[in-house]
Amino acid sequence: MATRAHLALLRRLSRRDARREHGLYLVEGRRLVGEALLSGAPVTEVLATQRFLDSPGGREIRALLSDRAPLDRISERDLLLLADTRTPQGVLAVIARRPPDREVLGKEGLFLALDGVSDPGNVGTLVRTGDAFRARAVLAGPGSADFENPKVLRAAMGSSFHLPLLVTDDLAAELERMREAGAEVLAAVLDGTDVYSCRSLAPRVVLVLGNEARGISPPVLEKADRRVTVPCPGPAESLNVAAAGAILSARVARMMGGLE
């Protein structure tokens, strides 16, 4: 059984600053814990209730876990204190943050860049979108929701373990470095060029998506080679950033040959 001191440390991981300090974060539920184990994420321990361990899902997690990391039993009460959901499934995993793989930014392919995308559900959905369309990485600038936020992890549905998730304190400077190395930067805006009219792209493309209310900040927008939009014939003023990101990613991926 986990000690009280250890449980107190895990409870602190609900805060972004504590996750950064300790280099650890929590995922919960059979699906996310299972996906973390299947993908080779650096799981340091799994905590589960006896009820969960006696269930088919518990037997599945134990089979995936094998000897990779310790398995600790936890009481239903303690699980409720650690879980972010109201009705937790009975299992949590503690995962160590991987060192950022910044070398990936020099590779060819599609990249998503988030400029102040603050809603955790949108960030998680965009991570899942990047995974679906074979993005090389997702890059988040200041003001974006933390990739390790529990709501981001749930919305990503396991995709957080499949591709590099990078954070930068200066997105505009990061984009400029990528441009100097040959990347083409596309900015998603309301009044840009119809993305379906675009006919050619560089081998490395960064698709920038902005804040839900304010859009892309001026310093980041200045780095765009093209400003693109999804044409909307209906009366809706605009698309949700996650919906727009999915449509634009699909179009860019097809142009780059990723859907062939």
CATH code of residue 129: 3.40.1280.10
Query: With 0-12 CB in 10 A as exposed, 13-18 as middle and 19+ as buried, what is 156?
Result: buried
**237 plus 143 within the same structural domain:** yes
Q: Give the count of domains, the chain.
A: 2
Mean pLDDT taken over the chain? 94
pLDDT at 208 over 60: yes
In a domain, 260, yes or no: no
In which element (H, E) is residue 120 found?
A: helix 120-132
pLDDT at 242 over 70: yes
Sign of the alpha-carbon torsion through 53, 58, 64, 69:
negative
Task: Give residue 100's pLDDT.
Answer: 85
**36 plus 157 within the same structural domain:** no
In a domain, 222, yes or no: yes
In a domain, 25, yes or no: yes
Section 178-199 average pLDDT: 92
**74 plus 136 within the same structural domain:** no
Which one of 70, 96, 122 terminates a domain?
96
Binned at pLDDT 50, 70 and 90, residue 1 comes out as: low
Predicted structure pTM score: 0.94
* Tokens found for residue 86: 């109201």
120-131 burial, b at 16+ Cβ within 10 Å, e below that, comes to bbbbbbbbbbbb
**229 plus 146 within the same structural domain:** yes
**73 plus 186 within the same structural domain:** no
**196 plus 180 within the same structural domain:** yes
Binned at pLDDT 50, 70 and 90, residue 116 comes out as: very high
The helix/strand count (H/E) of the chain reads as 11, 10
Backbone angles phi and psi of 168, in degrees to 5: -130, 145
**129 plus 235 within the same structural domain:** yes
Which one of 37, 68, 96 terminates a domain?
96
In a domain, 64, yes or no: yes
**71 plus 168 within the same structural domain:** no
Paired strand residues for 46: 71, 93
Task: Give residue 259's pLDDT.
Answer: 52
**71 plus 184 within the same structural domain:** no
CATH code of residue 8: 3.30.1330.30
CA distance 6 to 97: 18
**199 plus 123 within the same structural domain:** yes
**180 plus 241 within the same structural domain:** yes
Residues whose CB is less than 8 angstroms from the CB of residue 28 and which lie 6 or more positions away in sequence, other chains included: 82, 83, 84, 85, 88, 89, 91, 92, 93, 150
Residue 68 belongs to domain spanning: 4-96
Which one of 41, 64, 96 terminates a domain?
96
Q: Distances from the Cα of 204 to the Cαs of 22, 102, 104, 176, in angstroms?
A: 34, 15, 11, 13
171-200 burial, b at 16+ Cβ within 10 Å, e below that, comes to bbebbbebbeeebbbbbbbeeeeebeeeee
Task: Give residue 232's pLDDT.
Answer: 86
Section 172-176 average pLDDT: 97
Phi-psi region of 142 (alpha: psi -120 to 50; beta: other; left: phi over 0): beta
Sign of the alpha-carbon torsion through 154, 158, 163, 164:
positive
**88 plus 112 within the same structural domain:** no
What would the pLDDT profile of 57-112 be if each residue is shown by its tens digit?
999 999 999 888 899 999 999 999 999 998 999 999 999 998 888 999 999 999 99
Section 235-246 average pLDDT: 91
Binned at pLDDT 50, 70 and 90, residue 148 comes out as: very high
CA distance 144 to 142: 6
